[in-house]
Amino acid sequence: MGDKKRFSLSKFPFMFRKDYYMGVLLLKRRGLAVITWVFLVLLVYIIAALVYWFIVLEQQNDLIAALRVAELHKNAPNYIQQLNNSEELHRRKMIQYLGEGSTFLVLIIIGASFVYRAARKQIILSQQQQNFMMAVTHELKTPIAITRLNLETLQKRALDEQQQHRLLANTLQENNRLNTLTNNILVSSQLETGTYRLNTQPVNFSELAAEVVNDFKVRFPKRTIQLVADEDVFVQGEATLLQLLLSNLLDNALKYSLPPAPVNIGVKKRNKYAILTVADEGEGIADDEKKKVFQKFYRTGNEGTRKTKGTGLGLYLCTKIVKDHKGKISLTDNEPKGVVFAVQLKAL
């Protein structure tokens, strides 16, 4: 018999792999629903058993109390006192059973809540990681494929200078996109594990913002990007990370607002703080998702139906960078629509 070939998704086109990953996500969602129902059934069964045993113990308590009363002699001089003692003992036993049952019920519900939340969080994280792997695969292969196609075109065809310039500009743009993605993944991993060591120094935040904006204007010539910055706003930080912060916020604003909607960036000095704002006029973010967008791998909308590119690392990385620079990042609604990201850092 010949050697069996090992199955590998890498041999299939990206759309096949995407459908495969979407199928895996669908199965995991169904698995989450099944686990939820099984968990609820078991929880209801445990509570029902607890209630049942309380009823049985209370019935037993009533029976013992009745037998105790039946054994009393009505002609005894202390009959009334013995009857009162029997009723008091019966009442104490009932309170004991009720207290113990309530305590166990509360503990069961609290424990079940923690277990369910932990299991659900783990399954959702697994779904997001699966979606992250699918997005990374696409985000990596797309610029590589475009770059290779452009270089092969330049190599095999005699193009005029304008066509060559356009292909080279497109290749550089895809290379920058690939570089941003790899930087996000590497820096995010280093910041999370604590292996990244900040090399802080005075940074001209105004000039850094202008450099990032000029770079994005070259990469996206059809988009309107406006910068309003006070002169010489200095902060104490690492230029590389602050540049990554600006790039991710600006990239996020461009990604979720369609042209010709402008993106406005502001760098202001207010008292002892440097305030960075990045405002877009996109569809905005729902109130219940405003805090979630800063979580790792989280992306707005449905995991299976969203069409915007991304890995869910950009805003999470922004949060880590701002936190390491002892600053604050917030998200508010823009008028008439869109969102405004605001970063507050201590100014020099």
What is the predicted pLDDT for the residue at 32?
64
Average pLDDT of 308-320? 74
Average pLDDT of 338-348? 92
* pTM across the whole model: 0.56
The mean of the pLDDT values for the chain is 79
Weakest mean pLDDT among 193-197, 246-250, 341-345: 193-197
Q: Which of 114-128, 208-222, 294-308 has the highest mean pLDDT?
A: 208-222
What is the predicted pLDDT for the residue at 8?
45
What is the predicted pLDDT for the residue at 182?
77
**Angle between helical axes of 161-193 and 205-219 (0-180°, round to 10):** 130
At 160-194, the pLDDT tens digits run 888 888 888 888 877 877 777 777 777 767 776 66
The structure tokens listed for 260 are 């010709």
Weakest mean pLDDT among 9-13, 97-101, 102-106, 202-206: 9-13
At 27-47, the pLDDT tens digits run 555 666 777 788 788 888 888
What is the predicted pLDDT for the residue at 205?
94
Q: How many residues does the chain have?
A: 348
What is the predicted pLDDT for the residue at 130?
62
What is the predicted pLDDT for the residue at 339?
92
> Does the pLDDT of residue 133 top 70, yes or no?
no
- Local structure of residue 347 (DSSP, 8 states): B
Tell me which of 85 and 205 has the higher pLDDT: 205
The structure tokens listed for 51 are 């209630």
> Does the pLDDT of residue 229 top 90, yes or no?
yes
Inter-CA distances, 101 with 61, 109, 291, Å: 15, 12, 39
- In angstroms, the CA 273 to CA 342 distance is 12
DSSP 56-84: HHHHHHHHHHHHHHHTS-TTSTTHHHHHH
